[in-house]
Amino acid sequence: RHTHTQTHMESALFAKARPLDTPAVDSKTHTKSPTVTGSSVLGIKYNGGVLIGCDTLASYGSLARYEEISRIHKLSDRCVFAATGEYSDFQFLSEHLDTLVLRDFTTDDGATIDPSEVHQYVSRVLYNRRNKFDPLWNYVVVAGCSVSGSSDDETRTPFLGVTDLVGTTYADDMAATGFGNHIAMPLLRRHTDRAGGTQGLTREAARSVLEEALTVLFYRDCRTLARVQVADIPLDGPATVSEPYTLQTSWDVGLYRPA
């Protein structure tokens, strides 16, 4: 027979119990999958700088929810970055890098943070978050103008680097993330090879190639729009990010052709 004390202890024990699917009050939450996402980012060097471009759509799952967002962020006159993936993580990374650039400016030591240093820093941030099993769900493209040498003998070279969500990095003459890595990269390589390398590409030719690749992505990727932004980082001037504009498209092919 249960005593009063045993009954009281059992009641207290079951009162503290909770269903297994109910999280503890102090539990941590982690992003298990991106929610609002942006698609491909493309980049290409030319003989006087580097261009990056992407569309302005942020999809909520498969819903084309936000059609006028910017996924290109200008950090300084010599550095711009853009991202594929979770938009809120892109916003977090933008604020984080703005703080880094501001700290570098207020140090006032005569040195300016280089795009290649931003690229390496982003890779460490993403790798750190990956090790916490709470990654920033982004593929990040950093583009800019790297400066080396003294002020009297300064050398400027275009820089273009990519970092994925686990911190893997590479730098190249061309870059593409998301579906663009499969669809757009062959187009970028073909036009660059025909020009004899990036040194044979003018700004106008590089922009034309970029817009052609973004147009093909609009045709082939259901998570894109024909409305895009392009950032230009020249070696002889400040970086600029264009206002959103609409690509010229045509569906007069195959079964889409009107009778």
DSSP per-residue codes, 51-64 = EEEEE--EEETTEE
Q: Which residue is it, tokens 């579906």?
A: 179
- Interacting residues of 31 by C-beta distance below 8 A, sequence separation 6+: 86, 89, 134, 135, 137
Helices 185-194 and 203-220: angle between axes, nearest 10 degrees: 150
Active-site residue (options: 31, 112, 157, 169): 31
- Whether 157 sits among the annotated catalytic residues: the reply is no
Are the CB atoms for 96 and 103 separated by under 8 Å?
no
Taking CA atoms, 134 is separated from 75, 92, 119, in Å, by 25, 14, 20
Active-site positions?
Answer: 31
